[in-house]
Structure formats: C-alpha cells, structure tokens
Structure 1
Amino acid sequence: MGSESDLKIAEKGISILKDMGVEFEVRVASAHRTPDLVEEIVKNSKAKVFIAIAGLAAHLPGVVASLTTKPVIAVPVESKLDGMDALLSCVQMPPGIPTATVGIDRGDNAVLLALEILALSDEELSKKLEEYRKKLREKVINSDKRVGELYKH
C-alpha cells in the first residue's frame, strides 16, 4: 500500500486470503516518498504475485512492475476525482511494464485475481475458489427467491 490509509481497501481482500489459507504479507511503502523501501520489498519478496494499492498519482503499481517480472495487480483508490485519476494512472502503463488493474477500491477482486493466478499451479486452491464461486451463486439465488416472494402478484 502507498499509505496506511489504504488499509481499508486491503482489508477487503485480507479476509479472503485468511479464509483460503494463503500466506501473505502487507506492507506500506510509497513510490514517491520511499522508493528505496519499495525496491527493497520487491527485490527481497518471495511473493508470486504482487497487489499494489495506490491513490492520487498512483505510481506504486507501475514502480513495483518495473522491479519484477512477476504479475502485479493494481488497485486504484478513490481519493480525488472519484478515483479516476488513480484508475488512469494504474491502467496507462508504458509498453513492456504491464499491470492488471481491478476496479476502484476493489481490494477483494485484486485478491481473487491473484488467487486465480496462483491456482493455475495449485489444485487445492483451485477447488477453494470453485467453492467460493458456488457460495456467491447461492447467495444470488437466495436473494432472488426472497425478492421474488416479496413482490409476487
């Protein structure tokens, strides 16, 4: 995360990681104020996928991507301009330094995308993700039944 204020976005995904039993690490480092710390974290990390949460100028995902060939998932944060400034900063990467970008404030989707990447080589994790999707489906079906009964004529 670029700052501790981004923790509320990270927490959306942390609970999913815990439920899935996946090891993770959460760090705070600014692309502009502590670029040396960002480099140290990325270079010394054993992570297979990075999630970079950033608002305002939102350069953290791009800086992380410039330091590794591992996948980087960007989470733009709503701060100014309804988060569109951060979204565009995350999406508009130069050739050769890609990042995947999820929706504004969607730390949960970033984690799910990272888990899908990891599940490519982890059958147990793949099954957990299938079960997660099944629960999402059941939730919608149950909502449909409830709403259908409320407004039945």
Structure 2
Amino acid sequence: MFDVITVPVDGSDYGFEAADIAIEIAQKFGSKIAAVHVLEEFSFNSYDSEEDSGDEILAKITKKAGEVGVEVVEHLLTADPLRDMNFIIKQTGADLVVIHAHGANNHRFVSFEENDVSDTQIGSVSERLIRTCDVPVLLVK
C-alpha cells in the first residue's frame, strides 16, 4: 500500500513524534522511510553546524527505525521548506507523507503553552502540503 513514507523532520519533539508514527506505519506495511531534513537557505548559523545538526536528527530516525527492521533513506537538503516541500516529496517517491501540524524552525517553537498556540492551528508547511500535495498527508497533532 505504501512503498515509501516521507517524513519531514526538524529536530523538534513534534517532528520526532511524526517520525515515530511513520516508522510504526512502515513496519506494518513493509515500507521504507524517506527521512527529510531541510537546511534553510538563509540561516544565521554556520552551514557546517546546521549540517551536523541535520545529520544527527536523521541518524536518530535511522537508528530507531533500524531497531524494528525499517529501512530509512536519509535526505539532507538545502532548500526553502515552504516553497520546496512538494518538490522534495515528489523526488522521494512518497506514497504517504507523515508530518506534524507544527514546525519548529531553529527551535523557536518550544511548546504550545509557551507560545500560546491552539491545537486547532497548523504550521505553514503542513498547511501548504495538505492543500497541494499529490499524495496522502497524515497530519500528526
């Protein structure tokens, strides 16, 4: 049913929640995971530190998936998540996208309580995917 499940991850607890669900689904359907971490084109941090951080994020997902026998293909890309996520998803060959409702770019989004975020709100990348993606999107809240 799902050969490739793409899960965009930003390093937040919310992103890892979505990855956990993607791994669970992949395990049930014998799917591969395409774990995607996007390095933003314009960042105040050094590229090397951003790349190292992205590698660590993807390695966590690969390790966790490997523990239950799920294959992961890591994708560390420089792009604009809002503009480019649909293209990235097409390139991964996704049959399903699993993404959390809220992103956490550079860990600015710490928690719902600290940021006065309602559980009915949705992040811009997730919202755009729901509206424009050609494959099913599972939104994790």
Q: Settle same-fold status: TM greater than 0.5.
A: no
For the pair shown, which has the larger CA radius of gyration, 1 or 2? Answer: 1
Q: TM-score, normalised by structure 1?
A: 0.36
Q: Using CA pairs below 8 Å that are at least 6 residues apart, which structure has the higher relative contact order?
A: 2
Query: Which structure has the highest strand share of the two?
Result: 2
